[in-house]
Amino acid sequence: MSEPIVTYHSVNADPARAWVAYIDLGHDYLGIRFSGSSEEEAFVKATDFWAEKQAERDAAKASREAARLKAAQTRAQKGEAA
C-alpha cells in the first residue's frame, strides 16, 4: 500500500512552514500535520512517520501471532498430557 500522504501549499504561512502534509486515513482522522519549507520536506516527514508507525504495527501483529501460536502449542501439549 502506498502512503496516503496529502500535501498542500499555503501562501499565507511562514515560508519555513509553507508546505504541509498529512496522512489521509479516509474516514479516520489522524490530527497530525507535518510542515516544511518545501513540499518534499513536508512529504518526507509524513512518510517517515507513517513508515515508523507501520513498522510498529507490523511488530505488534507479529508479537500477537507468536503469542497465539505459543498458546495453541500449550493447549496441544496439555491435551496430549491428559
For position 31, what pLDDT does the model report? 85
Q: What is the mean pLDDT of each run of 10 residues along the chain (82 residues)?
A: 82 95 87 95 96 94 94 86 60
Q: Which residues contact 11 (CB under 8 A, 6 or more apart)?
A: 18
Q: DSSP class of residue 27? A: T
CA pair distance 55, 63, nearest whole angstrom: 12
Helix and strand numbers, DSSP H then E, in the chain: 1, 3
Query: Rounded to whole angstroms, what are the CA distances from 28 to 1, 17, 50, 76, 82?
Result: 17, 25, 15, 40, 48
For position 28, what pLDDT does the model report? 84
For position 36, what pLDDT does the model report? 97
pTM for the model: 0.71
